[in-house]
Amino acid sequence: MESEITYAEVQFKNASPAEEVEVPQKKKKQEQRTQTYPPWLPWLISLLLLLVCAALVVALLVTHISRSCDEPTALQLNLTEWHCILAVPQGKGRGWKCCPEGWKRFQESCYYFSADQMPWDESQQNCSGMGSHLVVINTKAEQAFLYKQITPKNTYWGEGINLYIGLRAQEVGQWHWTDQTPYNVTAAFWRPGEPSNSTNEMCVVIHHEKQNLRNWNDVPCSIHSHRICETAAVTI
């Protein structure tokens, strides 16, 4: 008996074309999304933020420095009339040196010679109230300038005038300048025989006499004398 051969028809359900294409399309969309921004863009953004921060810091520093330079001193607030001299050639920045009207300029400082008289402590307070201090003499050139200012004709000062300077002793022989400048014996201009280093003579005056550059004298701090105030010249 011949064996029967049975054929079974097996059909496989093929995927639809739409389903075959669906997966690649999703992959393409994901690839497109991941490549939207170039890899160097975050570095560029970081660099720009850093530059902006640096620019802000520089601007703040410049503003602070400018305000510090332009901030008026007590002397500038109290006095409004100024006398200015061009100290450097034009075109080379800030070069006008200015002193209040009635003050005398020498190098980088302005000097005020008082017409009234008072004790040393009150003299220092008076100078301080104008944004200055009793004069501190550092060089022979400065001493010569002060001497010259006291000697012009038609002055209201007579011979033998005393003017307080910013030199004082807390202990006998221990001289100190009012602005804490170290006392330099080589730049001191005592009269012959001075200082007397007496316990009741702890302050110093310029005792003006003609043709005598060495004119410092220690005196009691309570005597009423004229004074010389000093402050830094204003540069504009």
CATH number, domain containing residue 96:
3.10.100.10
Please report whether residue 31 resides in a domain. no
Condensed to tens digits (0 to 9), the pLDDT of residues 32-68 reads 555 566 777 777 788 888 888 778 766 655 444 344 4
Per-residue pLDDT at 115: 92
Percentage of the chain with pLDDT > 90? 44
Condensed to tens digits (0 to 9), the pLDDT of residues 149-188 reads 887 654 555 567 899 999 999 999 999 999 999 999 999 9
Please report whether residue 16 resides in a domain. no
Per-residue pLDDT at 46: 82
Per-residue pLDDT at 224: 96
How far out from the chain centre does Cα 38 lie?
Answer: 49
| Rounded Cα gap, residues 185 and 194, in angstroms | 13
Per-residue pLDDT at 59: 65
Please report whether residue 28 resides in a domain. no
Please report whether residue 215 resides in a domain. yes
Query: How many folded domains does the chain comprise?
Result: 1
Chain mean pLDDT for the chain: 77
Residues 56, 57, 62, 67: is their CA dihedral positive or negative? positive
Please report whether residue 43 resides in a domain. no
At 124, the pLDDT band (50, 70, 90 cuts) reads very high
Q: Where are the alpha helices (DSSP H) in 39-100?
A: 41-70, 74-78
| Rounded Cα gap, residues 218 and 221, in angstroms | 9
CB atoms within 10 A of CB 162: 19
DSSP designation for 201:
-
Please report whether residue 198 resides in a domain. yes
Per-residue pLDDT at 72: 42
User: For residue 123, what are the domain limits?
Assistant: 76-151+158-235
Per-residue pLDDT at 7: 46
Strand partners, 169: 175
| Rounded Cα gap, residues 137 and 179, in angstroms | 11
Region 80-92 average pLDDT = 63
Please report whether residue 59 resides in a domain. no
Angstrom CA distances, 106 to 125, 143, 173, 226, stand at 23, 11, 29, 20
Please report whether residue 49 resides in a domain. no
